[in-house]
Each structure stands twice: as C-alpha cells, then as structure tokens.
Amino acid sequence: MTELLQGLVQASAWLAVAVLLLAALQPLLRRLGGVALVYRSWWLVPLVLLAPLLPVPTLPLSDSAPVQALGAALRAPVLPSSAMLWPVLLAALWGAGAILVAGAQWRGQQRFERGLGALQPRSDGSWQASADPGLPALVGLWEPRVVVGPDFDARFSAAERDLILQHEHQHRCHGDHWANAALALLRCVFWFHPLLPWAARRFLCDQELACDARTVDPHPALRRLYANALLKAQWVHPVAPMACHWRSQPMLKERIAMLKEHKRKALPWMLGQVLVAGLCAGLGMVAWASQGDTGVSASLPADADAQARHIAPPQYPKSAYDQRISGKVVLRVNVDASGRPDDIKVISATPAGVFDEVSVAAARQWTFDPARKDGKPVATALQIPMTFELEASEPAP
C-alpha cells in the first residue's frame, strides 16, 4: 500500500509541475506557433507521468548483516495495529474516489449515446441521429463516427456543412478521441488533484482551437463562414467525456477570436516546435532521473561496500504479535554517497503484507558508512534480510 501511495504522491507532484509550466508557457507558445503548437505541448503531461516508470541503471547490490525483531521477548517495541491502518484507509479512499469518477463518466457517456436514438448513414460518410443531445460530434473510440443532428441539413448551408464535417474528420485523423479517453483515465486516477479540473478544461479548449485552425488554415477566405457556422450551433447541451463536440458555448468567444489570427511565419513556427520538443524531453528526463542515482558510478562495483553504522530493529506489529505470526522480509536499501538510505524496496516478504510497512519504516531511520570507489564515497545498494520471530534466537547466518 505504501508503494502505491508514494507513487501517487510522486505522480501528483509531476502532474502539478507539468500543468503549471504549461500554463506559464502558453502565451509564448501561442505567439511562436499558434494554437496547434499549444495543443501539442500537452504531450508533456503523459511524458512526465510515464517517465518515472522507465527502468534506470541499478546500483551494485551487496549483502548486509541480518536484522532481527523479537516479539515474544519484547526486545523490540510493539507497533499498535492502528498505525498500520492509515495506508490501507488512504488507498481505499483513493480507490473509492476513482471508481465513483469512472462511474460518473461512464454514465455520462452512456446517457449521451442513448440520447442519439437511431443512427442512419448519410451519403457524405457521416451518420444522422434521430435526436440531438449535443451534435455534431465525433462519437466512439475504437470505430469513431461523425454524427450529426436531425436538422443538420436544414440548419446549415452546404458550405457550412462541409466545414463542420472537415472539423470532425480532423478530430478523427489526429486521434483526439483517444486523447479524450486518456483525459478520462487521468480524471479517475487523479480525481483528488486540485489542478486537474483547470487542466482538463484548458486541454479541451486547446483541442478545439487547434482543430479549428487545422480546418480553416487551408481556406482563409472561409473564416467568416466558419464563424457563422459556430454561432448557429451554440446551444447548451451536456457533453460526453469521450466525444469531440462541435458545440462549445463556454469558449465560443475564444474560438471566433482565433479565426482572426494570421498564419505564423516559418521561423517562429520552427522555434516553437524545437521549444516543445526540448521541453518534453528535458522535463521527461528529469522525471526519469528522479527515481534515484543514475550516475556512471552506479554501474561500477565499489572497492569497499557500505557498512551499517546504526540499524535499529523494526517495531513488531501488534496484530502479528497477537496472532503469533512470524516472518521474514528482504529489503533492497539504496545508500547514497553521504550514507543515507534514499530508496527502499521490499524484495520479498513472508507472509506478504504483514511486516512490509514496519520494515520500510525502520530502514528509513538507519545510517551507513557509504561504499567507496577509488577512495571516494559512492552510492550503492544493500540487500538486508529482516527476521521477525516470536521467541528469542540467534539470527540466521
């Protein structure tokens, strides 16, 4: 449970960094490359969330002396069972919130799709619904379809219909429906994050602006006609989480203002692409390197292994003590060049989940004499077995 919570905290911190950075850079990116470049910059978010999951070079692993916690003789203090419950409660709260958000989004999507009624194919490649819960829109994930309302032909002229269909086909060609599905997943995982609601609204707004730009840039003379089509379609409708809607009344003013912008020159556009690529690569590399020491010395064997300076035994869990449970945990403890443990992982635990928490908590308090390479302190890793016994005995060799 602790590893899950630590992963969520780390990912939440990187999500906040990415969102704040994008918010600060949006005006500059828009001047350099327009709304399409701003929308492309949102690739930064999944990159910084996935980068810490990539493997890093491992530190050289050395064996250490075993540690023993004695329950029956009470030589190690007994940890109250309530102190072990908070990670489980927090994980349960997060899981319940994720399920609730997922259920709400699923109901919204199902309500929208049921509201379409019967669908009939059209000669232009789109589908016509018998009802209008918020159309036109690109609907579906695996086989997305452009769906228009029953009054599509009556409300829009032929030229306007062509522009609207081009807009929705742009959504499909650029995979915007998959991007919306990824956003729905983020809303489930990070439902507690205070910056995510703003980021989701801004992302969907940038998505529509970029799609508008891709549609009208090849036909600059049709900008006024495109704006008229936007004005005709703006009615308040609930939107589906994974549908790309033509209607977007809250951002209508911004969409029409974007149509007045001129196409960017080649040099600033290229600078914008380089800036976004460098931003994504740089912050992704920082997020990846944040997992631990990835220096060259990490892959080299040390001349002298790290030695324990102070290792206090872990507290014996009260629930395990009351139930007369014994066990063993093997830890991997990364020791930095100053002798502090900076990353602790459970390699194995018997029985699983009983002694993991107290073992990691104890290891965070330990101190070491760092390993040495060519006379200089370097980072390394120790494999430390910990035995939890109910009767005093000598540690296993």
Tokens for 338, please give them.
């100053």
Contact 183, 203 (CB under 8 A): yes
User: Is 357 part of any domain?
Assistant: yes
**Out of 120-134, 156-170, 195-209, 358-372, which region has the weakest mean confidence (pLDDT)?**
358-372
Q: 């579906």: which residue's tokens?
A: 140
Give 110-125 pLDDT, tens digit per residue: 999 999 999 999 999 9
Q: Three-state SS for 226? A: helix
Residue 148 pLDDT more than 80? yes
Strand partners, 368: 308
Contact 289, 52 (CB under 8 A): no
Give me the CATH number covering residue 345: 3.30.2420.10
Contact 329, 346 (CB under 8 A): yes
| Tally of structural domains, the chain | 1
**Out of 27-36, 294-303, 366-375, which region has the weakest mean confidence (pLDDT)?**
294-303
pLDDT of 255:
81
User: Is 378 part of any domain?
Assistant: yes
From the list 134, 119, 198, 200, the residue with the least C-alpha distance to 168 is 134
Average pLDDT of the chain is 82
User: Is 153 part of any domain?
Assistant: no
Average pLDDT on 117-140 reads 92
Give 235's pLDDT tier (boundaries 50, 70, 90).
low
Residue 52 pLDDT more than 70? yes
* More confident: 201 or 324: 201
User: Is 305 part of any domain?
Assistant: yes
Tokens for 301, please give them.
């064997």
* More confident: 223 or 245: 223
Give 32's pLDDT tier (boundaries 50, 70, 90).
confident
User: Is 282 part of any domain?
Assistant: no
User: Is 359 part of any domain?
Assistant: yes
pLDDT of 144:
94
What's the maximum distance between 2 C-alpha atoms anywhere in the chain? 88
Supply the pTM of this predicted model.
0.74
User: Is 104 part of any domain?
Assistant: no
H/E segment holding residue 369: strand 367-369
Residue 394 pLDDT more than 50? no
pLDDT of 188:
96
Contact 381, 302 (CB under 8 A): no
Give 302's pLDDT tier (boundaries 50, 70, 90).
low
**Out of 106-120, 125-139, 289-303, 317-331, which region has the weakest mean confidence (pLDDT)?**
289-303
> For residue 367, what are the domain limits?
296-389
| Percent of the chain's residues with pLDDT above 70 | 82
Average pLDDT on 72-78 reads 44
Give 13-28 pLDDT, tens digit per residue: 999 999 999 999 999 9
Q: 10 Å Cβ neighbour count for 333?
A: 25
pLDDT of 175:
94
**Rounded CA separation 129/150 (Å):** 6
Residue 73 pLDDT more than 50? no
**Rounded CA separation 228/243 (Å):** 23
**DSSP state letters, 175-239:** THHHHHHHHHHHHHHTTT-TTHHHHHHHHHHHHHHHHHHHHHTT-GGGHHHHHHHHHHH------
pLDDT of 314:
83
Residue 182 pLDDT more than 90? yes
User: Is 350 part of any domain?
Assistant: yes
